[in-house]
A and B are shown apart, each in its own frame.
Chain A
Protein backbone atom coordinates (compact mmCIF):
# COMPACT_ATOMS: atom_id res chain seq x y z
CA UNK A 1 0.00 0.00 0.00
CA UNK A 2 1.35 3.43 -0.94
CA UNK A 3 1.85 6.24 1.51
CA UNK A 4 -0.84 8.92 1.83
CA UNK A 5 1.38 11.52 0.09
CA UNK A 6 2.04 9.22 -2.88
CA UNK A 7 -1.63 8.30 -3.07
CA UNK A 8 -2.61 11.98 -3.05
CA UNK A 9 -0.31 12.55 -6.01
CA UNK A 10 -1.97 9.69 -7.86
CA UNK A 11 -5.41 11.07 -7.03
CA UNK A 12 -4.50 14.50 -8.33
CA UNK A 13 -2.98 13.16 -11.52
CA UNK A 14 -5.93 10.86 -12.17
CA UNK A 15 -4.09 7.54 -11.81
CA UNK A 16 -6.48 6.46 -9.10
CA UNK A 17 -9.70 7.68 -7.52
CA UNK A 18 -11.04 7.70 -3.99
CA UNK A 19 -13.68 5.13 -4.87
CA UNK A 20 -10.96 2.67 -5.92
CA UNK A 21 -9.08 3.30 -2.67
CA UNK A 22 -12.21 2.67 -0.64
CA UNK A 23 -12.99 -0.49 -2.61
CA UNK A 24 -9.43 -1.75 -2.19
CA UNK A 25 -9.71 -1.30 1.59
CA UNK A 26 -13.17 -2.88 1.70
CA UNK A 27 -11.83 -5.86 -0.24
CA UNK A 28 -9.02 -6.30 2.27
CA UNK A 29 -11.51 -5.99 5.12
CA UNK A 30 -13.76 -8.59 3.55
CA UNK A 31 -10.86 -11.00 3.10
CA UNK A 32 -9.09 -10.51 6.40
CA UNK A 33 -11.47 -9.15 9.00
CA UNK A 34 -13.13 -12.48 9.82
CA UNK A 35 -9.73 -13.70 11.06
CA UNK A 36 -8.34 -10.49 12.51
CA UNK A 37 -11.51 -8.82 13.86
CA UNK A 38 -10.12 -5.29 13.54
CA UNK A 39 -13.32 -3.60 12.36
CA UNK A 40 -16.55 -3.55 14.35
CA UNK A 41 -18.58 -1.62 11.79
CA UNK A 42 -18.26 -0.22 8.29
CA UNK A 43 -19.57 3.14 7.14
CA UNK A 44 -22.35 2.25 4.68
CA UNK A 45 -21.87 5.62 2.97
CA UNK A 46 -18.11 5.27 2.40
CA UNK A 47 -18.39 4.62 -1.34
CA UNK A 48 -20.90 7.40 -1.80
CA UNK A 49 -18.63 9.85 0.05
CA UNK A 50 -15.68 8.76 -2.08
CA UNK A 51 -17.65 9.45 -5.24
CA UNK A 52 -18.38 12.96 -4.00
CA UNK A 53 -14.68 13.61 -3.44
CA UNK A 54 -13.83 12.18 -6.88
CA UNK A 55 -16.35 14.52 -8.45
CA UNK A 56 -14.77 17.51 -6.69
CA UNK A 57 -11.26 16.49 -7.79
CA UNK A 58 -12.42 16.10 -11.38
CA UNK A 59 -14.18 19.46 -11.39
CA UNK A 60 -11.54 21.56 -9.69
CA UNK A 61 -8.36 19.64 -10.61
CA UNK A 62 -7.40 20.17 -6.99
CA UNK A 63 -7.51 18.06 -3.86
CA UNK A 64 -10.20 19.45 -1.55
CA UNK A 65 -8.20 19.08 1.66
CA UNK A 66 -5.06 17.52 3.12
CA UNK A 67 -6.62 14.06 3.32
CA UNK A 68 -8.93 14.23 0.32
CA UNK A 69 -10.31 10.81 -0.58
CA UNK A 70 -8.12 8.88 1.88
CA UNK A 71 -9.93 6.04 3.72
CA UNK A 72 -9.28 6.03 7.47
CA UNK A 73 -10.43 3.99 10.46
CA UNK A 74 -11.59 5.33 13.82
CA UNK A 75 -11.38 3.59 17.18
CA UNK A 76 -14.87 2.82 18.38
CA UNK A 77 -14.65 5.05 21.46
CA UNK A 78 -14.43 8.15 19.24
CA UNK A 79 -17.78 9.49 18.06
CA UNK A 80 -18.62 9.47 14.35
CA UNK A 81 -22.05 10.82 13.58
CA UNK A 82 -24.26 8.28 11.84
CA UNK A 83 -22.26 5.30 13.11
CA UNK A 84 -22.50 3.30 16.32
CA UNK A 85 -19.95 4.02 19.03
CA UNK A 86 -19.82 0.91 21.19
CA UNK A 87 -16.52 1.48 23.04
CA UNK A 88 -16.24 -2.31 22.85
CA UNK A 89 -18.96 -2.65 25.48
CA UNK A 90 -22.32 -4.35 25.66
CA UNK A 91 -23.42 -1.21 27.52
CA UNK A 92 -23.19 0.87 24.32
CA UNK A 93 -24.06 -1.70 21.70
CA UNK A 94 -27.07 0.35 20.60
CA UNK A 95 -25.50 3.80 20.92
CA UNK A 96 -25.65 6.11 17.92
CA UNK A 97 -24.01 9.38 18.99
CA UNK A 98 -26.04 12.51 18.20
CA UNK A 99 -22.90 14.56 17.52
CA UNK A 100 -19.46 14.23 15.99
CA UNK A 101 -16.11 14.28 17.77
CA UNK A 102 -13.87 17.26 16.93
CA UNK A 103 -11.15 15.03 15.48
CA UNK A 104 -13.55 13.32 13.07
CA UNK A 105 -15.05 16.67 12.12
CA UNK A 106 -11.55 17.85 11.24
CA UNK A 107 -10.77 14.69 9.27
CA UNK A 108 -13.96 15.13 7.26
CA UNK A 109 -13.19 18.79 6.62
CA UNK A 110 -9.82 17.65 5.25
CA UNK A 111 -11.70 15.35 2.86
CA UNK A 112 -10.94 12.01 4.54
CA UNK A 113 -13.32 9.09 4.10
CA UNK A 114 -14.32 7.49 7.38
CA UNK A 115 -14.26 3.83 6.46
CA UNK A 116 -15.38 2.29 9.72
CA UNK A 117 -14.93 1.81 13.46
CA UNK A 118 -12.28 -0.39 15.02
CA UNK A 119 -12.21 -2.83 17.91
CA UNK A 120 -10.86 -2.01 21.37
CA UNK A 121 -10.77 -3.27 24.93
CA UNK A 122 -14.06 -2.39 26.61
CA UNK A 123 -13.97 1.37 27.38
CA UNK A 124 -10.27 1.25 26.38
CA UNK A 125 -9.46 -0.76 29.51
CA UNK A 126 -6.82 -3.28 28.59
CA UNK A 127 -3.59 -4.00 26.77
CA UNK A 128 -4.66 -6.76 24.37
CA UNK A 129 -8.15 -6.00 22.96
CA UNK A 130 -9.21 -9.27 24.62
CA UNK A 131 -11.57 -7.30 26.85
CA UNK A 132 -13.80 -6.32 23.94
CA UNK A 133 -17.41 -7.51 24.17
CA UNK A 134 -17.09 -8.23 20.45
CA UNK A 135 -14.16 -10.66 20.74
CA UNK A 136 -10.40 -10.11 20.57
CA UNK A 137 -8.50 -8.55 17.67
CA UNK A 138 -5.77 -10.85 16.41
CA UNK A 139 -2.26 -9.91 15.47
CA UNK A 140 -1.81 -9.83 11.67
CA UNK A 141 1.72 -11.25 12.10
CA UNK A 142 0.49 -14.26 14.08
CA UNK A 143 -3.21 -14.97 14.51
CA UNK A 144 -2.63 -16.85 17.77
CA UNK A 145 -1.30 -13.66 19.35
CA UNK A 146 -2.89 -10.42 20.53
CA UNK A 147 -2.77 -7.19 18.54
CA UNK A 148 -2.14 -5.25 21.73
CA UNK A 149 -4.53 -2.73 23.18
CA UNK A 150 -6.55 -0.96 23.77
CA UNK A 151 -6.38 0.44 20.19
CA UNK A 152 -5.72 -3.08 18.86
CA UNK A 153 -8.31 -2.80 16.09
CA UNK A 154 -6.79 0.41 14.72
CA UNK A 155 -3.24 -1.00 14.78
CA UNK A 156 -4.23 -4.30 13.15
CA UNK A 157 -6.31 -2.48 10.52
CA UNK A 158 -3.34 -0.31 9.52
CA UNK A 159 -0.94 -3.29 9.58
CA UNK A 160 -3.17 -5.42 7.36
CA UNK A 161 -3.87 -2.64 4.83
CA UNK A 162 -7.56 -2.34 5.62
CA UNK A 163 -7.14 1.46 5.76
CA UNK A 164 -4.48 4.12 5.10
CA UNK A 165 -4.31 5.27 8.69
CA UNK A 166 -6.34 5.30 11.88
CA UNK A 167 -7.09 7.15 15.08
CA UNK A 168 -6.70 5.60 18.49
CA UNK A 169 -6.71 6.82 22.07
CA UNK A 170 -3.89 6.45 24.58
CA UNK A 171 -4.44 6.54 28.35
CA UNK A 172 -1.47 4.41 29.44
CA UNK A 173 0.01 3.19 26.15
CA UNK A 174 -3.08 2.25 24.16
CA UNK A 175 -1.77 3.67 20.88
CA UNK A 176 1.94 2.92 21.23
CA UNK A 177 1.74 -0.65 22.56
CA UNK A 178 -0.56 -2.03 19.80
CA UNK A 179 1.43 -0.05 17.20
CA UNK A 180 4.55 -1.79 18.49
CA UNK A 181 2.89 -5.26 18.47
CA UNK A 182 1.56 -4.78 14.92
CA UNK A 183 4.67 -3.19 13.40
CA UNK A 184 3.12 0.20 12.64
CA UNK A 185 3.71 3.80 13.76
CA UNK A 186 1.75 5.32 16.61
CA UNK A 187 1.92 8.66 18.38
CA UNK A 188 0.52 9.88 21.66
CA UNK A 189 0.51 13.67 21.42
CA UNK A 190 1.18 16.05 24.30
CA UNK A 191 -1.81 16.31 26.62
CA UNK A 192 -3.71 19.27 25.18
CA UNK A 193 -2.54 19.13 21.55
CA UNK A 194 -5.60 17.24 20.31
CA UNK A 195 -9.17 17.85 21.40
CA UNK A 196 -10.89 15.00 23.22
CA UNK A 197 -14.38 16.33 22.54
CA UNK A 198 -16.32 13.25 21.46
CA UNK A 199 -13.92 10.72 22.98
CA UNK A 200 -15.69 8.38 25.40
CA UNK A 201 -13.84 9.27 28.60
CA UNK A 202 -11.89 6.74 30.62
CA UNK A 203 -9.36 8.65 32.76
CA UNK A 204 -9.61 12.31 31.86
CA UNK A 205 -6.24 13.49 33.19
CA UNK A 206 -4.50 10.86 31.02
CA UNK A 207 -6.64 10.25 27.89
CA UNK A 208 -5.32 11.54 24.59
CA UNK A 209 -6.33 10.89 20.97
CA UNK A 210 -3.58 10.23 18.42
CA UNK A 211 -2.82 8.72 15.01
CA UNK A 212 -1.58 5.31 13.83
CA UNK A 213 -0.02 4.99 10.38
CA UNK A 214 2.23 3.03 8.03
CA UNK A 215 5.08 5.58 8.06
CA UNK A 216 6.26 8.76 9.71
CA UNK A 217 4.98 11.19 7.07
CA UNK A 218 1.45 9.79 7.22
CA UNK A 219 1.60 9.96 11.00
CA UNK A 220 2.59 13.63 10.88
CA UNK A 221 -0.08 14.44 8.32
CA UNK A 222 -2.85 12.86 10.40
CA UNK A 223 -1.67 14.71 13.50
CA UNK A 224 -1.49 17.97 11.58
CA UNK A 225 -5.15 17.61 10.61
CA UNK A 226 -6.58 16.65 14.01
CA UNK A 227 -4.57 18.93 16.32
CA UNK A 228 -5.47 22.32 17.69
CA UNK A 229 -7.37 24.21 20.33
CA UNK A 230 -11.04 23.45 20.61
CA UNK A 231 -13.41 25.46 22.76
CA UNK A 232 -15.32 22.25 23.41
CA UNK A 233 -12.33 20.72 25.24
CA UNK A 234 -11.08 23.12 27.88
CA UNK A 235 -7.84 21.15 28.26
CA UNK A 236 -6.86 21.69 24.62
CA UNK A 237 -4.24 24.33 23.89
CA UNK A 238 -2.98 26.65 21.17
CA UNK A 239 -0.03 24.85 19.59
CA UNK A 240 2.81 25.35 17.14
CA UNK A 241 1.40 23.61 14.08
CA UNK A 242 2.82 20.29 12.91
CA UNK A 243 5.13 20.55 9.91
CA UNK A 244 6.01 17.68 7.63
CA UNK A 245 9.04 15.94 9.18
CA UNK A 246 12.48 16.62 7.71
CA UNK A 247 15.63 14.60 8.29
CA UNK A 248 17.98 16.17 10.80
CA UNK A 249 21.67 15.94 11.51
CA UNK A 250 21.94 13.25 14.17
CA UNK A 251 25.35 14.42 15.33
CA UNK A 252 23.72 17.39 17.04
CA UNK A 253 21.30 15.25 19.02
CA UNK A 254 21.54 14.25 22.67
CA UNK A 255 19.77 11.04 23.61
CA UNK A 256 18.75 10.18 27.14
CA UNK A 257 19.20 6.60 28.23
CA UNK A 258 17.60 5.56 31.48
CA UNK A 259 18.18 2.17 33.06
CA UNK A 260 14.66 2.30 34.54
CA UNK A 261 13.45 1.29 31.09
CA UNK A 262 15.83 -1.67 30.73
CA UNK A 263 14.96 -3.55 33.92
CA UNK A 264 14.68 -7.26 34.63
CA UNK A 265 11.23 -7.61 33.06
CA UNK A 266 12.57 -6.75 29.61
CA UNK A 267 12.79 -9.55 27.02
CA UNK A 268 16.49 -10.14 26.31
CA UNK A 269 16.01 -10.09 22.54
CA UNK A 270 14.18 -6.76 22.65
CA UNK A 271 16.95 -5.42 24.88
CA UNK A 272 19.54 -6.54 22.34
CA UNK A 273 17.53 -5.06 19.49
CA UNK A 274 17.13 -1.65 21.17
CA UNK A 275 20.81 -1.57 22.16
CA UNK A 276 21.70 -2.16 18.53
CA UNK A 277 19.47 0.76 17.57
CA UNK A 278 21.20 2.97 20.12
CA UNK A 279 24.57 1.87 18.75
CA UNK A 280 23.60 2.82 15.21
CA UNK A 281 22.42 6.23 16.35
CA UNK A 282 25.65 6.71 18.27
CA UNK A 283 27.64 5.87 15.13
CA UNK A 284 25.87 8.75 13.41
CA UNK A 285 27.44 11.04 15.95
CA UNK A 286 24.59 11.43 18.41
CA UNK A 287 25.53 11.72 22.04
CA UNK A 288 24.03 9.25 24.45
CA UNK A 289 23.79 10.33 28.04
CA UNK A 290 22.64 8.29 31.00
CA UNK A 291 19.86 10.05 32.84
CA UNK A 292 18.19 9.35 36.13
CA UNK A 293 14.45 9.04 36.48
CA UNK A 294 14.37 7.71 40.04
CA UNK A 295 10.62 8.08 40.56
CA UNK A 296 9.77 6.33 37.32
CA UNK A 297 9.81 2.92 39.01
CA UNK A 298 6.62 3.97 40.82
CA UNK A 299 4.79 5.08 37.68
CA UNK A 300 2.67 1.97 37.18
CA UNK A 301 1.43 2.06 40.78
CA UNK A 302 0.54 5.72 40.47
CA UNK A 303 -1.15 5.07 37.18
CA UNK A 304 -3.42 2.29 38.44
CA UNK A 305 -4.57 4.34 41.41
CA UNK A 306 -5.24 7.54 39.46
CA UNK A 307 -6.70 5.84 36.39
CA UNK A 308 -9.11 3.62 38.31
CA UNK A 309 -10.28 6.54 40.46
CA UNK A 310 -11.01 8.66 37.39
CA UNK A 311 -12.59 5.76 35.50
CA UNK A 312 -15.01 4.95 38.31
CA UNK A 313 -16.18 8.55 38.20
CA UNK A 314 -16.42 8.72 34.39
CA UNK A 315 -18.33 5.46 34.06
CA UNK A 316 -20.96 6.36 36.65
CA UNK A 317 -23.05 7.84 33.82
CA UNK A 318 -23.93 4.44 32.34
CA UNK A 319 -27.34 3.78 33.79
CA UNK A 320 -28.96 1.76 31.01
CA UNK A 321 -31.39 4.50 30.01
CA UNK A 322 -29.20 6.93 28.13
CA UNK A 323 -26.72 6.24 25.34
CA UNK A 324 -28.97 3.94 23.36
CA UNK A 325 -30.37 2.07 26.33
CA UNK A 326 -30.09 -1.65 26.85
CA UNK A 327 -32.55 -4.51 26.75
CA UNK A 328 -31.92 -5.35 30.38
CA UNK A 329 -34.54 -2.98 31.69
CA UNK A 330 -37.81 -4.02 33.26
CA UNK A 331 -39.93 -0.97 34.02
CA UNK A 332 -41.57 -2.85 36.90
CA UNK A 333 -38.29 -2.88 38.82
CA UNK A 334 -37.36 0.10 40.96
CA UNK A 335 -34.69 2.48 39.71
CA UNK A 336 -31.82 1.15 41.83
CA UNK A 337 -32.56 -2.39 40.72
CA UNK A 338 -32.52 -1.31 37.07
CA UNK A 339 -29.16 0.41 37.49
CA UNK A 340 -27.70 -2.63 39.21
CA UNK A 341 -29.10 -5.14 36.72
CA UNK A 342 -27.87 -3.12 33.76
CA UNK A 343 -24.37 -2.48 35.07
CA UNK A 344 -24.01 -6.08 36.27
CA UNK A 345 -25.02 -7.52 32.91
CA UNK A 346 -23.45 -4.96 30.57
CA UNK A 347 -19.98 -4.34 32.03
CA UNK A 348 -17.25 -6.94 31.52
CA UNK A 349 -14.84 -8.22 34.17
CA UNK A 350 -12.01 -5.74 33.63
CA UNK A 351 -14.35 -2.76 33.79
CA UNK A 352 -15.94 -4.09 36.97
CA UNK A 353 -12.54 -4.65 38.55
CA UNK A 354 -11.37 -1.13 37.77
CA UNK A 355 -14.61 0.44 39.01
CA UNK A 356 -14.39 -1.49 42.27
CA UNK A 357 -10.73 -0.59 42.60
CA UNK A 358 -11.47 3.07 41.83
CA UNK A 359 -14.15 3.26 44.50
CA UNK A 360 -11.76 1.62 46.95
CA UNK A 361 -8.95 4.02 46.06
CA UNK A 362 -11.21 6.97 46.78
CA UNK A 363 -12.65 5.53 49.98
CA UNK A 364 -11.92 7.17 53.27
CA UNK A 365 -8.63 6.03 54.77
CA UNK A 366 -7.22 4.65 51.55
CA UNK A 367 -7.53 7.95 49.74
CA UNK A 368 -5.33 9.74 52.25
CA UNK A 369 -2.86 6.90 52.35
CA UNK A 370 -2.45 6.11 48.67
CA UNK A 371 -4.40 8.29 46.26
CA UNK A 372 -2.95 11.59 47.47
CA UNK A 373 0.47 9.95 47.67
CA UNK A 374 0.07 8.81 44.05
CA UNK A 375 -0.66 12.39 43.03
CA UNK A 376 2.48 13.56 44.81
CA UNK A 377 4.60 10.87 43.17
CA UNK A 378 3.07 11.78 39.81
CA UNK A 379 4.43 15.24 40.34
CA UNK A 380 7.85 13.86 41.26
CA UNK A 381 7.89 11.81 38.04
CA UNK A 382 6.97 14.95 36.09
CA UNK A 383 9.89 16.80 37.65
CA UNK A 384 12.18 13.84 36.81
CA UNK A 385 11.25 14.14 33.14
CA UNK A 386 11.41 17.94 33.09
CA UNK A 387 14.90 17.83 34.56
CA UNK A 388 15.97 15.16 32.07
CA UNK A 389 14.83 17.29 29.13
CA UNK A 390 17.02 20.14 30.32
CA UNK A 391 19.94 17.86 29.41
CA UNK A 392 18.76 15.74 26.48
CA UNK A 393 16.55 16.10 23.39
CA UNK A 394 14.84 12.72 23.48
CA UNK A 395 14.58 9.69 25.72
CA UNK A 396 14.69 6.34 23.93
CA UNK A 397 13.14 3.19 25.38
CA UNK A 398 11.58 -0.06 24.18
CA UNK A 399 7.82 0.49 23.72
CA UNK A 400 6.95 -2.80 25.41
CA UNK A 401 8.85 -5.25 27.61
CA UNK A 402 7.86 -8.19 25.39
CA UNK A 403 6.71 -8.83 21.85
CA UNK A 404 3.02 -9.68 21.19
CA UNK A 405 1.91 -12.41 23.58
CA UNK A 406 -0.46 -15.34 23.03
CA UNK A 407 -4.19 -14.81 23.23
CA UNK A 408 -5.34 -15.94 26.68
CA UNK A 409 -1.83 -15.86 28.14
CA UNK A 410 -2.34 -12.93 30.51
CA UNK A 411 -6.08 -12.43 30.66
CA UNK A 412 -6.61 -14.20 34.01
CA UNK A 413 -3.89 -12.24 35.78
CA UNK A 414 -4.59 -8.50 35.62
CA UNK A 415 -1.30 -7.50 37.27
CA UNK A 416 0.76 -9.31 34.60
CA UNK A 417 -1.35 -7.58 31.95
CA UNK A 418 -0.83 -4.19 33.65
CA UNK A 419 2.95 -4.71 33.58
CA UNK A 420 2.69 -4.63 29.78
CA UNK A 421 2.33 -0.85 30.06
CA UNK A 422 5.32 -0.25 32.30
CA UNK A 423 7.32 1.75 29.69
CA UNK A 424 4.38 3.71 28.33
CA UNK A 425 2.44 4.87 31.41
CA UNK A 426 5.04 7.33 32.76
CA UNK A 427 4.54 9.39 29.60
CA UNK A 428 0.78 9.71 30.19
CA UNK A 429 1.33 10.63 33.84
CA UNK A 430 3.56 13.55 32.83
CA UNK A 431 1.55 14.47 29.71
CA UNK A 432 4.50 14.52 27.31
CA UNK A 433 4.40 13.26 23.69
CA UNK A 434 5.83 9.91 22.62
CA UNK A 435 6.00 7.92 19.44
CA UNK A 436 6.42 4.21 18.77
CA UNK A 437 8.16 3.18 15.56
CA UNK A 438 8.91 -0.30 14.21
CA UNK A 439 12.64 -1.13 14.44
CA UNK A 440 12.84 -4.78 13.48
CA UNK A 441 11.44 -8.16 14.33
CA UNK A 442 12.13 -11.02 16.67
CA UNK A 443 10.96 -14.36 15.23
CA UNK A 444 8.59 -12.54 12.87
CA UNK A 445 7.11 -10.41 15.70
CA UNK A 446 7.61 -6.64 15.42
CA UNK A 447 9.60 -4.65 17.98
CA UNK A 448 8.84 -1.00 18.76
CA UNK A 449 11.17 1.82 19.78
CA UNK A 450 9.62 4.54 21.93
CA UNK A 451 10.83 8.11 21.46
CA UNK A 452 9.77 10.46 24.25
CA UNK A 453 10.14 14.23 23.88
CA UNK A 454 9.43 17.32 25.94
CA UNK A 455 6.07 19.11 25.98
CA UNK A 456 4.79 19.97 22.48
CA UNK A 457 7.99 18.69 20.84
CA UNK A 458 6.07 16.54 18.32
CA UNK A 459 7.76 18.24 15.34
CA UNK A 460 11.18 17.43 16.75
CA UNK A 461 10.19 13.83 17.58
CA UNK A 462 8.78 13.23 14.09
CA UNK A 463 11.84 14.66 12.33
CA UNK A 464 14.18 12.68 14.56
CA UNK A 465 12.16 9.49 13.89
CA UNK A 466 12.29 10.15 10.16
CA UNK A 467 16.07 10.44 10.36
CA UNK A 468 16.23 7.04 12.05
CA UNK A 469 14.28 5.22 9.33
CA UNK A 470 17.25 5.07 7.02
CA UNK A 471 19.33 3.30 9.67
CA UNK A 472 17.27 0.11 9.55
Chain B
Protein backbone atom coordinates (compact mmCIF):
# COMPACT_ATOMS: atom_id res chain seq x y z
CA UNK B 1 0.00 0.00 0.00
CA UNK B 2 1.03 3.50 -0.65
CA UNK B 3 1.20 6.39 1.83
CA UNK B 4 0.08 9.99 1.44
CA UNK B 5 3.72 11.12 1.47
CA UNK B 6 4.55 8.65 -1.32
CA UNK B 7 1.62 9.97 -3.34
CA UNK B 8 2.89 13.51 -2.91
CA UNK B 9 6.39 12.52 -3.90
CA UNK B 10 5.22 10.66 -7.00
CA UNK B 11 3.14 13.69 -7.95
CA UNK B 12 6.22 15.86 -7.56
CA UNK B 13 8.10 13.61 -9.98
CA UNK B 14 5.20 14.08 -12.42
CA UNK B 15 5.45 17.86 -11.89
CA UNK B 16 2.04 17.99 -10.23
CA UNK B 17 1.18 19.66 -6.91
CA UNK B 18 -1.54 18.11 -4.78
CA UNK B 19 -3.65 19.70 -2.05
CA UNK B 20 -4.05 17.73 1.19
CA UNK B 21 -7.55 16.76 0.14
CA UNK B 22 -6.37 15.50 -3.27
CA UNK B 23 -3.46 13.59 -1.77
CA UNK B 24 -5.83 11.87 0.65
CA UNK B 25 -8.40 11.08 -1.99
CA UNK B 26 -5.85 9.82 -4.53
CA UNK B 27 -4.23 7.66 -1.88
CA UNK B 28 -7.52 5.90 -1.14
CA UNK B 29 -8.42 5.52 -4.81
CA UNK B 30 -5.00 4.33 -5.97
CA UNK B 31 -4.71 1.93 -3.04
CA UNK B 32 -8.01 0.39 -4.03
CA UNK B 33 -6.69 -0.18 -7.55
CA UNK B 34 -3.40 -1.55 -6.21
CA UNK B 35 -5.29 -3.94 -3.93
CA UNK B 36 -7.10 -5.23 -7.02
CA UNK B 37 -3.89 -5.48 -9.04
CA UNK B 38 -2.37 -7.60 -6.26
CA UNK B 39 -4.29 -10.53 -7.80
CA UNK B 40 -1.31 -10.84 -10.16
CA UNK B 41 0.62 -12.38 -7.26
CA UNK B 42 -1.70 -15.38 -7.53
CA UNK B 43 -0.91 -16.06 -11.18
CA UNK B 44 0.53 -19.51 -11.64
CA UNK B 45 2.37 -20.02 -14.89
CA UNK B 46 2.34 -23.42 -16.49
CA UNK B 47 5.58 -25.28 -16.01
CA UNK B 48 6.53 -25.04 -19.65
CA UNK B 49 5.47 -21.40 -20.02
CA UNK B 50 7.82 -19.34 -22.12
CA UNK B 51 7.07 -15.74 -23.03
CA UNK B 52 7.26 -15.42 -26.79
CA UNK B 53 9.17 -12.36 -27.81
CA UNK B 54 6.96 -10.80 -30.43
CA UNK B 55 8.36 -7.28 -30.35
CA UNK B 56 10.84 -6.38 -33.01
CA UNK B 57 12.64 -3.15 -33.73
CA UNK B 58 11.77 -1.22 -36.83
CA UNK B 59 14.45 1.08 -38.16
CA UNK B 60 14.51 3.89 -40.63
CA UNK B 61 17.25 5.88 -42.28
CA UNK B 62 18.66 8.56 -40.01
CA UNK B 63 18.22 11.46 -42.36
CA UNK B 64 16.91 14.99 -42.06
CA UNK B 65 13.54 15.68 -43.62
CA UNK B 66 12.99 19.18 -44.90
CA UNK B 67 9.74 20.86 -44.02
CA UNK B 68 8.27 23.86 -45.76
CA UNK B 69 8.66 27.40 -44.49
CA UNK B 70 4.94 27.51 -43.76
CA UNK B 71 5.09 24.36 -41.65
CA UNK B 72 8.06 25.76 -39.78
CA UNK B 73 6.17 28.96 -39.05
CA UNK B 74 3.15 27.03 -37.86
CA UNK B 75 5.25 24.93 -35.51
CA UNK B 76 6.94 27.97 -34.02
CA UNK B 77 3.61 29.76 -33.71
CA UNK B 78 2.09 26.88 -31.78
CA UNK B 79 4.27 27.68 -28.76
CA UNK B 80 3.14 30.14 -26.12
CA UNK B 81 5.95 32.69 -26.57
CA UNK B 82 8.08 33.27 -29.59
CA UNK B 83 10.97 35.62 -30.14
CA UNK B 84 12.18 35.59 -33.73
CA UNK B 85 12.94 31.98 -34.51
CA UNK B 86 13.24 31.03 -30.87
CA UNK B 87 10.71 29.77 -28.34
CA UNK B 88 10.94 31.81 -25.20
CA UNK B 89 10.89 30.03 -21.84
CA UNK B 90 11.95 31.05 -18.31
CA UNK B 91 15.54 30.44 -17.20
CA UNK B 92 16.55 27.03 -15.98
CA UNK B 93 19.21 28.44 -13.65
CA UNK B 94 18.83 31.32 -11.25
CA UNK B 95 20.91 34.48 -11.64
CA UNK B 96 23.36 35.20 -8.82
Interface assignment of A397: CB less than 8 Å from any CB of chain B? no
Kindly supply a per-residue 1/0 record for chain A positions 294-328, scoring 1 wherever the CB is within 8 Å of any chain B CB and 0 otherwise.
01011011101100000010000000111111100
Chain A contacts with B in 186-234, Cβ cutoff 8 A: 231, 234
Kindly supply a per-residue 1/0 record for chain A positions 38-68, scoring 1 wherever the CB is within 8 Å of any chain B CB and 0 otherwise.
0000000000000000000000000000000
Q: Which of B14, B29, B71 has the most CB of A within 10 A?
A: B14
The smallest beta-carbon distance between A213 and chain B, in angstroms, is 31
Kindly supply a per-residue 1/0 record for chain B positions 59-96, scoring 1 wherever the CB is within 8 Å of any chain A CB and 0 otherwise.
01000000000010011001111000001111110100
Q: Is A370 a contact partner of B40 (Cβ separation < 8 A)?
A: yes
Q: Is A96 a contact partner of B43 (Cβ separation < 8 A)?
A: no
Chain A residues in 8 Å Cβ range of B49: 380
Whether A98 touches B78, Cβ cut-off 8 Å, given contacts A321-B89, A335-B91, is yes
Kindly supply a per-residue 1/0 record for chain B positions 1-26, scoring 1 wherever the CB is within 8 Å of any chain A CB and 0 otherwise.
01000110011011111100010001
Q: Is A305 a contact partner of B37 (Cβ separation < 8 A)?
A: yes
Chain A residues in 8 Å Cβ range of B60: 231, 234
Q: Is B33 a contact partner of A418 (Cβ separation < 8 A)?
A: yes
Whether A334 touches B94, Cβ cut-off 8 Å, given contacts A325-B81, A352-B16, is yes
Chain A residues in 8 Å Cβ range of B52: 379, 382-383
From B29, B51, B89, give the contact of A353 (CB < 8 A): B29
Alpha-carbon gap, A377 to B44, bound state (A): 10
Chain B residues in 8 Å Cβ range of A324: 78, 80
Chain B residues in 8 Å Cβ range of A339: 15
Alpha-carbon gap, A370 to B18, bound state (A): 26
The SS class assigned to the B binding surface is loop
From A96, A340, A418, give the contact of B78 (CB < 8 A): A96
Chain A residues in 8 Å Cβ range of B51: 375-376, 379-380
Alpha-carbon gap, A125 to B23, bound state (A): 20
Q: Is A360 a contact partner of B16 (Cβ separation < 8 A)?
A: no
Interface assignment of A357: CB less than 8 Å from any CB of chain B? yes
Chain A contacts with B in 367-426, Cβ cutoff 8 A: 370, 373-377, 379-380, 382-383, 413-415, 418
The smallest beta-carbon distance between B43 and chain A, in angstroms, is 6
Bin chain B's interface residue count: 35 or more
Kindly supply a per-residue 1/0 record for chain B positions 28-44, scoring 1 wherever the CB is within 8 Å of any chain A CB and 0 otherwise.
01101100110110010
Interface assignment of A248: CB less than 8 Å from any CB of chain B? no
Alpha-carbon gap, A343 to B15, bound state (A): 7
Q: Is B45 a contact partner of A380 (Cβ separation < 8 A)?
A: yes
Chain B residues in 8 Å Cβ range of A304: 33, 37
Whether A415 touches B15, Cβ cut-off 8 Å, given contacts A95-B78, A334-B92, A335-B92, is no
Alpha-carbon gap, A396 to B7, bound state (A): 40
Identify the closest chain A residue to B39 (Cβ).
A301
Chain A contacts with B in 330-348, Cβ cutoff 8 A: 331-336, 338-341, 343-344, 347
Identify the closest chain B residue to A341 (Cβ).
B17
The smallest beta-carbon distance between B61 and chain A, in angstroms, is 11
Alpha-carbon gap, A321 to B94, bound state (A): 19
Q: Is A377 a contact partner of B43 (Cβ separation < 8 A)?
A: yes
The smallest beta-carbon distance between A272 and chain B, in angstroms, is 28
Q: Is B16 a contact partner of A415 (Cβ separation < 8 A)?
A: no
Alpha-carbon gap, A325 to B82, bound state (A): 11
The smallest beta-carbon distance between A337 and chain B, in angstroms, is 8
Chain A residues in 8 Å Cβ range of B87: 321-322
Chain A residues in 8 Å Cβ range of B15: 336, 339-340, 343-344
Alpha-carbon gap, A344 to B13, bound state (A): 12
Chain B residues in 8 Å Cβ range of A382: 52, 54
Chain B residues in 8 Å Cβ range of A302: 40
Interface assignment of A355: CB less than 8 Å from any CB of chain B? yes
Interface assignment of A359: CB less than 8 Å from any CB of chain B? yes
Q: Is A343 a contact partner of B16 (Cβ separation < 8 A)?
A: yes
The smallest beta-carbon distance between B31 and chain A, in angstroms, is 10
From B13, B18, B89, give the contact of A359 (CB < 8 A): B13
Q: Is B37 a contact partner of A340 (Cβ separation < 8 A)?
A: no
Whether A353 touches B78, Cβ cut-off 8 Å, given contacts A321-B89, A334-B92, is no
Interface assignment of A99: CB less than 8 Å from any CB of chain B? yes
In the complex, 6 of the A-B residue pairs with CB atoms within 8 angstroms, ordered by the A residue number, are: A325-B79, A329-B80, A338-B89, A340-B15, A382-B52, A383-B52
Closest 6 CB pairs of A and B: A325-B80, A98-B74, A234-B58, A379-B51, A301-B37, A339-B15
